[in-house]
Amino acid sequence: MYAQMVKSEATNDDPEMLAAFQARIDAGERIEPKEWMPEGYRKTLIRQIGQHAHSEIVGQLPEGNWITRAPTLERKAILLAKVQDEAGHGLYLYCAAETLGVSRDDLTEQLLSGRMKYSSIFNYPTLTWADIGAVGWLVDGAAIMNQVPLQRTSFGPYARAMVRICKEESFHQRQGYDLIRKMAEGTAEQKAMAQDALNRFWYPSLMMFGPSDKESVHSAQSMAWKIKINTNDELRQKFVDQTVPQAQFLGLTVPDEALAWNEDKGGWDFSEPDWNEFYEVLKGNGPCNVERIEARQKAWNDGAWFRDGLMAHAKKRDARRQAAQMAAE
Amino acid sequence: MPVQGDMMTPDAEALAKAAGGAARSAGQTPLEAGSPEMDLFTGLTRLGDNTLILGHRISEWCGHAPVLEEDIALSNMALDLIGQTQFWLGLAAEVEGRGRDADALAFRRDAWHFHNILLVERPNGDFGQTLMRQFLFDAWHAPMLKALEGSADARIAEIAAKAHREVAYHIERSADLVIRLGDGSEESHARMQAALDRLWPYSGEMMIADAVDLRLAHAGLIPDPASIRPAWDETVNHVLEEATLKRPEGNFAHQGGKQGRHSEHMGHLLAPMQWLQRAYPDAEW
């Protein structure tokens, strides 16, 4: 899940309008940007979509880490295309957030100053080429679990962005699986890399869904507004059930001794990730938090002259156009 | 294995040939220098190594560009260039006929066997240098591909036609950005002029023919690089004027990349690029 632990905002709107709004949501209607919405709904969505967009942007970094080392021209092209898609997803999502009255620059500033979060998963390093497969298979796999239901979310621009994003993410997941399959079927060293990648990415992937909803008051409000469709636990279970047979097919071992098929529930029993680690990563103590945010800050600061230069040119061009018009009149 | 005598050998090309020959599988004789096959192989690697090395350089920006739209545009161009590399080096390997493929040429040759111009291996520098390097190359690449569409070899003409459609967008974009930043703020103007001055001595190499180029041009396979100069000059003069940038006066051209004599930067570029293939030579990816 690219948006984790999104706090829902309290709302102080007129009770009658709130009831009418809720009735529209309950009837399955889509809410569009120019229509009335509770302030809490707007703010919660900005936080959720913004966090999702930031995750796409920061998510370029762990994968970009291997673009210059991709082992074949085809793998290099696939990875480039994938990272390009992530940047594109960031762009759609910032646009969706802008329809709620916040600018992209504003959201960027909040990311860079640490006031807005991105998904915890991108604070883990990509250490071997097999990690690029694991990111596609597990990380994109977990993201898809969350995003497929969000195609039915109540806010129109977000739902529509999800339709396109899900198509591309499914493609990425298949490519990631293909990469790690090649490794798992390869030399002893390649297979060891594949197993090591699964060992390191398994629990951080489970964390992507966030802690159990039993502890969250925010989930209930977001679910009532249909900006969250399933509980964190439902999605996590679904992810494990889908992923375990895929790992078995690869001949890789899921790093969980308690993993066992539960006939009664028709799903796998599995160990919870270490939630202390999760909270530490959110606080900034993950293996790569500092590098990730520094990389984004550097890109933004180093690029200031570029952005200013383009703005200066646009102003000059407008001034010339106006002068030409005045001369013609 | 190089011996002490190698150090005294003035002919790096001959040495490279000997080393390359030894690295290939037993029983495979390398193409004969000066043969039509070797000329064509060299010409094709010049095209494919340019796109590979520039595509690689651009891909170093991934996730670090000044604005999201540039991240998208740069990865798109890198993708086009890597795609073109697959075609050019694929054809080079076919012409060579020694069992190598495009990946073997990209990931298993050492620097002295690469034939790209020095311009494309220049480090990225600031974003202005990256853009200026791109513009100077695109202004040559687009007319070169257009001319290659008329190659006597149908395979070359076909690859060129496909690549030209992509590169037409590259030059449109890089020229537009050079104009906007040159005629932008005081700082953007200064950075673009500095980038131009710095890269200018590396722009001439792509338009200077050597004996291989001339033989290929004579055979109607790959046009004489010098014949691209008028088109390049026209684009560069027009864009620089609109960008309010001053065309540097000197005509000095650093040369050597096309013949395998590269800058110190080349080895550092190849080290990460080729690392997996070199470290795990038996693996498939």
Q: How many domains does chain A have?
A: 2
A203 and A300 within one domain: no
Residue A8 pLDDT greater than 90, yes or no: no
* Contacting residues for B8 by C-beta, under 8 A, at least 6 apart: none
Mean pLDDT of B11-19: 57
Judged on CB neighbours under 10 Å (0-12, 13-18, 19+), A322 is exposed
A211 in Cβ contact with A192 (< 8 Å) = no
Please tell me the distance from the alpha carbon of residue B271 to that of residue A315, in angstroms, as a whole number: 44
Of B62, B65, B282, the CB nearest to A187: B282
Q: Which residues of A touch B54 (CB under 8 A)?
A: none
Determine, for residues B273 and A69 on separate chains, whether the beta-carbon distance falls below 8 Å. yes
pLDDT in tens, B214-230: 999 999 999 999 999 99
Mention every residue, 6+ apart, whose C-beta is less than 8 A from residue A43. A9
Residue A2 is assigned to a structural domain of this protein: no
pLDDT at A153 over 90: yes
| Interface-testing mutation among B52, B75, B80, with chain A (most A C-beta atoms within 10 A) | B75
Query: Is 50 exceeded by the pLDDT of residue B144?
Result: yes
CB atoms within 10 A of CB A255: 16
The 10 Å CB-count burial string (b at 16+, else e) for B214-245 is: ebbbeeebbbebeebbebbeebbeebbeebeb
CB spacing of A316 vs B183 below 8 angstroms: yes
- Nearest chain B residue (CA) to A293: B64
Q: State the pLDDT at residue B13.
A: 60
Size of interface A-B (CB pairs under 8 A): 149
How close does chain B come to A315, measured CA to CA in Å?
Answer: 9
What domain range includes position A322? 287-328
> What is the structure's pLDDT at B22?
43
Strand, coil or helix: what is A31? strand
If asked whether residues A228 and A153 sit together in one domain, one would say yes
Angle, alpha carbons B20-B109-B153 (nearest 5°): 90
Average pLDDT on A18-32 reads: 96
Q: Residue B23: pLDDT above 50?
A: no
- The answer to whether residues A227 and A183 belong to one domain is yes
Same domain, A181 and A143: yes
What the block records as the tokens of A111 is 């990311």
Q: Please tell me which residue of chain B has the smallest CA distance to A62.
A: B63
pLDDT in tens, B189-216: 999 999 999 999 999 999 999 999 999 9
CB contact under 8 A, B64 and A298: yes
Q: Which of B62, B75, B272 sits opposite A69 (nearest CB)?
A: B272
C-alpha span between A86 and B72 (Å, rounded): 9
Interchain contact, B276 vs A69, CB within 8 Å? yes
CB contact under 8 A, B188 and A308: yes
- Neighboring chain A residues of B93 at a CB cutoff of 8 Å: none
Q: Is residue A248 located within the same domain as residue A301? A: no
Structural domain contains residue A93: yes
Give the β-pairing of A260-262 and A267-269.
antiparallel
Q: What mean pLDDT is predicted for residues A261-268?
A: 97
Nearest CA distance, B30 vs chain A (angstrom): 24
Inter-chain CB proximity A77 and B86 less than 8 Å: yes
Maximum distance among all Cα pairs of chain B, rounded to whole angstroms: 62
Taking an 8 Å cut-off on Cβ atoms, the answer to whether B78 and A80 are in contact is yes
Q: Does domain B36-274 have CATH number 3.40.50.20?
A: no
The token duo for A232 is: 């964190």
Contacts of A76 in chain B (CB under 8 A): 59, 82
Q: Is B175 exposed, middle or buried (0-12, 13-18, 19+ CB in 10 A)?
A: buried
DSSP B258: G
pLDDT tens digits, B107-124 = 999 999 999 999 999 999
The structural domains of chain B, with segments of one domain joined by +, span 36-274
A253 and A299 both lie in a single domain = no
| Residue of chain B with shortest Cα separation from A303 | B66
Same domain flag for A194 and A312: no
A306 to B127: CB separation less than 8 angstroms, yes or no? yes
pLDDT band for position A185 (cuts 50, 70, 90): very high
Lowest mean pLDDT among A185-189, A208-212, B90-94, B233-237: A208-212
Nearest Cβ partner for A306 among B75, B83, B188: B188
Residue B12's pLDDT is 58
Residues 6 or more apart whose Cβ sits within 8 Å of residue B236: B136, B139, B247
Calpha distance B61→B39 (Å, rounded): 34
Q: Residues A62-108: pLDDT tens digits?
A: 999 999 999 999 999 999 999 999 999 999 999 999 999 999 999 99
Interface contact flag, B75 A68, Cβ < 8 Å:
no
**Residue A61's closest chain B neighbor by CA?**
B63
pLDDT in the model for residue B1: 43
Cα A188 to Cα A204: distance, rounded to the nearest angstrom = 25
Could you tell me if A311 and A203 lie in one domain? no
Residues of B in Cβ contact (< 8 Å) with A112: none
A269 has which bridge partners? A260
Contacts of residue A84 in chain B, CB cutoff 8 Å?
Answer: 71-72, 75-76, 79
Are B107 and A80 a contacting pair at CB < 8 A?
no
Query: What's the confidence (pLDDT) of residue B7?
Result: 53
Q: Looking at the structure, do residues A224 and A293 belong to the same domain, yes or no?
A: no
Residues from chain B that touch A128, judged by Cβ atoms under 8 A, are none
Handedness of CA A204, A209, A214, A216 (dihedral sign): positive
Which two structure tokens, joined as six digits, stand for A180? 């790690």
| Cα–Cα dist A261/A242, whole Å | 12
The answer to whether residue B9 scores a pLDDT higher than 60 is: no
Nearest residue to B137 (alpha-carbon basis) of B223, B199, B218? B199
What is the CATH classification number for the domain harbouring A140?
1.20.1260.10
What is the predicted pLDDT for the residue at B21? 45
The pLDDT tens digits of the residues spanning A169-180 come to 999 999 999 999
* pLDDT at res. B155: 98
- Looking at the fold, whether A265 and A304 belong to one and the same domain comes out as no
List, for residues B66-119, the tens digit of each pLDDT value. 999 999 999 999 999 999 999 999 999 999 999 999 999 999 999 999 999 999
Report which secondary-structure segment, H or E, holds A12.
Answer: none
d(CA A105, CA A171): 30
- Answer whether B273 sits within 8 Å of A68, measured CB to CB: yes
Q: Which amino acid is at B135?
A: F
Is this structure's pTM higher than 0.90?
yes
d(C-alpha A138, C-alpha A134), whole Å: 6
Alpha helices in chain A (DSSP H): 15-26, 39-58, 60-64, 73-98, 104-112, 129-134, 140-150, 156-184, 188-207, 218-224, 232-250, 275-280, 289-302, 304-328
Residue A311 and residue A240 share a domain: no
User: Do residues A291 and A266 share a domain?
Assistant: no
